[in-house]
């Protein structure tokens, strides 16, 4: 079989276009949960990456990103538990979220006022046709009203109904929530007066606090200074592994007793992939001389993995 | 091919708005960053704001205008480019003196970069004429960071005209966003994230800037991938269209911001290991 470069040139030729005379650059980069210079360097040197993405920590750098003052202060003083994996996205994909956002407060307030869901103006994430001919958004008030009405008419226990309703009401409007921050910061009028802010940092932001200058954050990336807060921080790979084990446990709990054959297979594959990951890290251990990658942490996570599923439905 | 950023990090897209103008804040220091171009209404709002701030002429593109989504995106991106060009042009003219943006450019660089080392050498130089020559050389060496954009490939709803009738495919959310970028003046990269959208990938073929011109790609493609296999599959689909993937970007499935596309338990370390092992064969004799 031909390679990318040949394939590409053949296609260019077939189109009557100029071909590449030499193979163009093809970079490999990575991002997600990198937190200090040791990790940054390790990714570049051991994995031979051409670049590393640093996202969430820059939310604490007003010189680089747009976070309104109120939200910025909340991020700057947040604790680990404020960052969580939610079901807030109408796309149905898990969404890393921030508990203290004004968007989250607004969502709850609407439920208390018996007006769950959001007015929908942008419709970017609409995908549902359960009740309507045109697609609508599962975060919209229109959808949530229709769906809740349907749930209420089901012949199941009140507790089950409430559980189903809670799931519907967890969906939040991201189109407005994720855009209001830049408008508030620049004092631009917010359309439709919806000024609640949703913000979606990665869980790694728990290890950063305060507000920083661009020079400070870049100094941190390159190891000139240290901006990590006092919270004990396992390395990025351990952190990711922990997130995956938590996620696995959550899925097992959700599947419950009515787990299907297909779901069982999925869980088995998931577990075995995690176990190979742990084995890989154990072998890699000797190379991690610079940062805290200790065998104890790995062993304890390995035990957690072995125990997933056991503590469900206490 | 244009030089890459002198930095070993980039700032990825952060939500719809948190990094929506980040290049106008950091690109002049050589830092590459990524903006979301999903919400054209927001971009239009911000363009009005920036045009006012920089005293650029501003003509509002109303939602009713034909192809307004793509037009608004193009106009916004051209505005950001204009701001960065202006900032960078000014920076290049500045004095080598603590407190200037030019000084900051070098101050921020990684200590082991060739540029930083030349800068340190210039600082240590005692001879006035030699120092000036080195300074002029440094001014020519620097480049701004890339002004990149992100499209969530699968967020691709159809649009309707004012009569409520569905518009043709190329007016869908993702395709019109791609068109908005493709027709802009930017020389940068577009990142496709959140899955494979065949209609979108085929649509890239329509735009000149994604093809090489004397080996130069005016606009480059970055694919956000979850593992090695999807890099191979998607890279091949694009290569067969004559489109080169300039960067495979791997993101942790759960240890990331916003939407978390968890893998089936595949962890970042082993995924990166596979890329490392296959780095050469990925674009050499694999398949």
Q: B285 pLDDT band (50/70/90 cuts)?
A: very low
- Looking at per-residue pLDDT, the higher value among B17 and B195 belongs to B17
Which has the minimum average pLDDT: A48-62, A287-301, B93-107?
A: A287-301
Q: A177 pLDDT band (50/70/90 cuts)?
A: confident
DSSP for A265-299, written as a single string: HHHHHHHHHHHHHHHHHHHHGGG--SS---HHHHH
Q: How far is the C-alpha of A123 from the C-alpha of B40, rounded, in Å?
A: 12
Contacts of A174 in chain B (CB under 8 A): 16
Q: Are strands A83-86 and A95-98 parallel, antiparallel or unpaired?
A: antiparallel
Q: What is the pLDDT of residue B194?
A: 80
Instruction: Over range A216-236, report the average pLDDT.
Output: 95
Q: What is the pLDDT of residue A307?
A: 87
Q: How far is the C-alpha of A117 from the C-alpha of A97, rounded, in Å?
A: 17
Read off the pLDDT of residues B218-256 as tens digits, 9 standing for 90 and up.
999 999 998 999 999 999 999 999 999 999 999 999 999
Read off the pLDDT of residues A12-23 as tens digits, 9 standing for 90 and up.
999 999 999 999
Contacts of A91 in chain B (CB under 8 A): 155, 259
Q: What is the SS3 assignment for B189?
A: strand
- How many cross-chain Cβ pairs, A to B, lie less than 8 Å apart? 310
Contacts of B12 in chain A (CB under 8 A): 31, 53-55
Q: Does A91 touch chain B (CB under 8 A)?
A: yes
Q: A283 pLDDT band (50/70/90 cuts)?
A: confident
DSSP state of A208: B
Read off the pLDDT of residues A179-209 as tens digits, 9 standing for 90 and up.
899 999 999 988 887 889 999 999 999 999 9
Contact A202, A96 (CB under 8 A): yes
Q: What is the pLDDT of residue A284?
A: 82
Read off the pLDDT of residues B111-140 as tens digits, 9 standing for 90 and up.
999 999 999 999 999 999 999 999 999 999
**Per-residue pLDDT for A312 more than 60?**
no
| b/e A48-75 (16+ beta carbons within 10 angstroms → b) | ebbbbbbbbbbbbbbbbbbbbeebbebb
Phi-psi category of residue B104: left, alpha or beta, with phi > 0 → left and psi -120 to 50 → alpha: alpha
Query: Closest approach of chain B CAs to the CA of A2, in angstroms?
Result: 7
**Per-residue pLDDT for A24 more than 50?**
yes
Asked if B17 lies within 8 A of A180 by C-beta distance, the reply is: yes
Q: How far is the C-alpha of B78 from the C-alpha of B85, rounded, in Å?
A: 10
Give the residue carrying structure tokens 């003509």: B59
Of B39, B104, B239, Cβ closest to residue A11: B239
Q: What is the pLDDT of residue A169?
A: 92
Q: What is the pLDDT of residue B286?
A: 43
Which residues lie across from A128 on neighbouring strands?
A136
Which residues lie across from A118 on neighbouring strands?
A140
> Of all residues in chain B, what percent carry a pLDDT higher than 70?
96
**Per-residue pLDDT for B2 more than 50?**
no
DSSP state of A68: -
Look over chain B and give the mean of its residue pLDDT values, rounded to a whole number. Answer: 93
Contact A121, A190 (CB under 8 A): no
Q: Which of residues 26-45 of A touch B (CB under 8 A)?
A: 26-33, 40, 43-44
Q: What is the pLDDT of residue A287?
A: 72
Asked if B269 lies within 8 A of A281 by C-beta distance, the reply is: yes
Q: How far is the C-alpha of B125 from the C-alpha of A51, rounded, in Å?
A: 32
Q: Does B197 touch chain A (CB under 8 A)?
A: no
Read off the pLDDT of residues B261-279 as tens digits, 9 standing for 90 and up.
999 999 999 999 999 988 7
Asked if B46 lies within 8 A of A188 by C-beta distance, the reply is: yes
Q: How far is the C-alpha of A94 from the C-alpha of A103, rounded, in Å?
A: 17
Q: What is the pLDDT of residue B256?
A: 94
Instruction: Over range A282-309, report the average pLDDT.
Output: 79
- Looking at per-residue pLDDT, the higher value among A310 and A45 belongs to A45
Q: B280 pLDDT band (50/70/90 cuts)?
A: low
**Angle (CA) B51 B207 B197, round 5°:** 95
Q: A313 pLDDT band (50/70/90 cuts)?
A: very low
- How many Å is the Cα radius of gyration of chain B? 21
Look over chain A and give the mean of its residue pLDDT values, rounded to a whole number. Answer: 90
ipTM exceeding the 0.90 mark: yes
Please name which of B114, B121, B113, B35 lies closest in space to residue B79, comparing C-alpha atoms: B35
User: How far lies A20's CA from each of A7, A9, A25, A285, B88, in Å?
Assistant: 11, 6, 11, 41, 30
């Amino acid at each position: 079989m031909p390679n990318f470069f040949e394939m590409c040139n053949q296609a260019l030729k077939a189109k009557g276009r100029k071909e590449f005379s030499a193979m163009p650059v093809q970079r490999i980069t990575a991002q997600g949960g990198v937190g200090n210079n040791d990790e940054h360097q390790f990714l570049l040197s051991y994995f031979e990456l051409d670049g590393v993405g640093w996202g969430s920590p820059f939310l604490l750098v007003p010189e680089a990103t747009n976070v309104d003052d109120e939200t910025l202060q909340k991020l700057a003083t947040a604790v680990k538990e404020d960052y969580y994996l939610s079901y807030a996205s109408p796309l149905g994909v898990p969404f890393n979220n921030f508990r203290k956002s004004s968007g989250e407060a607004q969502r709850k307030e609407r439920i208390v006022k018996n007006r769950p869901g959001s007015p929908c103006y942008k419709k970017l994430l609409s995908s549902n046709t359960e009740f309507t001919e045109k697609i609508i958004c599962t975060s919209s008030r229109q959808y949530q009203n229709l769906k809740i009405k349907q749930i209420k008419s089901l012949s199941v226990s009140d507790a089950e109904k409430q559980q189903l309703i809670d799931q519907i009401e967890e969906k939040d409007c991201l189109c407005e929530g994720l855009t209001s921050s830049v408008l508030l910061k620049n004092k631009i009028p917010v359309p439709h007066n919806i000024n609640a802010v949703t913000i979606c940092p990665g869980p790694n932001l728990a290890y950063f606090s305060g507000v920083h200058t661009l020079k400070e954050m870049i100094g941190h990336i390159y190891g000139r200074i240290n901006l990590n807060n006092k919270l004990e921080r396992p390395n990025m790979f351990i952190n990711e592994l922990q997130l995956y084990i938590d996620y696995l446990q959550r899925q097992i709990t959700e599947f419950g007793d009515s787990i299907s054959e297909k779901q069982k297979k999925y869980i088995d594959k998931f577990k075995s992939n995690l176990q190979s990951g742990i084995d890989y890290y154990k072998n890699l251990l000797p190379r991690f001389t610079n940062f805290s990658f200790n065998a104890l942490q790995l062993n304890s996570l390995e035990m957690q993995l072995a125990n997933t599923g056991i503590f469900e439905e206490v | 091919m244009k030089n890459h950023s002198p930095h070993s990090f980039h700032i990825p897209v952060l939500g719809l708005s948190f990094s929506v103008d980040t290049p106008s804040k950091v690109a002049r220091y050589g830092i590459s960053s990524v903006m979301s171009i999903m919400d054209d209404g927001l971009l239009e709002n911000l363009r009005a704001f920036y045009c006012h701030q920089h005293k650029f002429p501003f003509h509002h593109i109303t939602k009713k205008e034909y192809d307004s989504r793509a037009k608004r995106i193009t106009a916004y991106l051209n505005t950001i480019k204009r701001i960065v060009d202006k900032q960078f042009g000014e920076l290049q003219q500045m004095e080598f003196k603590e407190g200037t943006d030019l000084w900051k450019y070098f101050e921020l660089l990684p200590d082991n970069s060739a540029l930083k080392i030349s800068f340190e050498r210039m600082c240590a130089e005692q001879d006035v004429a030699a120092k000036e020559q080195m300074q002029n050389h440094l001014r020519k060496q620097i480049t701004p960071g890339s002004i990149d954009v992100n499209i969530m490939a699968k967020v691709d709803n159809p649009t309707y005209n004012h009569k409520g009738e569905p518009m043709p495919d190329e007016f869908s959310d993702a395709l019109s966003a791609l068109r908005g970028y493709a027709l802009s003046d930017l020389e940068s990269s577009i990142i496709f994230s959140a899955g494979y959208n065949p209609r979108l990938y085929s649509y890239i073929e329509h735009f000149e800037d994604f093809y090489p011109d004397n080996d130069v790609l005016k606009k480059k493609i970055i694919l956000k991938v979850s593992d090695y296999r999807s890099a191979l599959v998607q890279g091949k689909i694009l290569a067969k269209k004559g489109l080169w993937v300039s960067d495979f970007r791997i993101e942790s499935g759960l240890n990331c911001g916003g939407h978390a596309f968890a893998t089936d338990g595949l962890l970042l370390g082993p995924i990166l290991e596979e890329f490392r092992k296959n780095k050469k064969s990925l674009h050499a004799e694999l398949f």
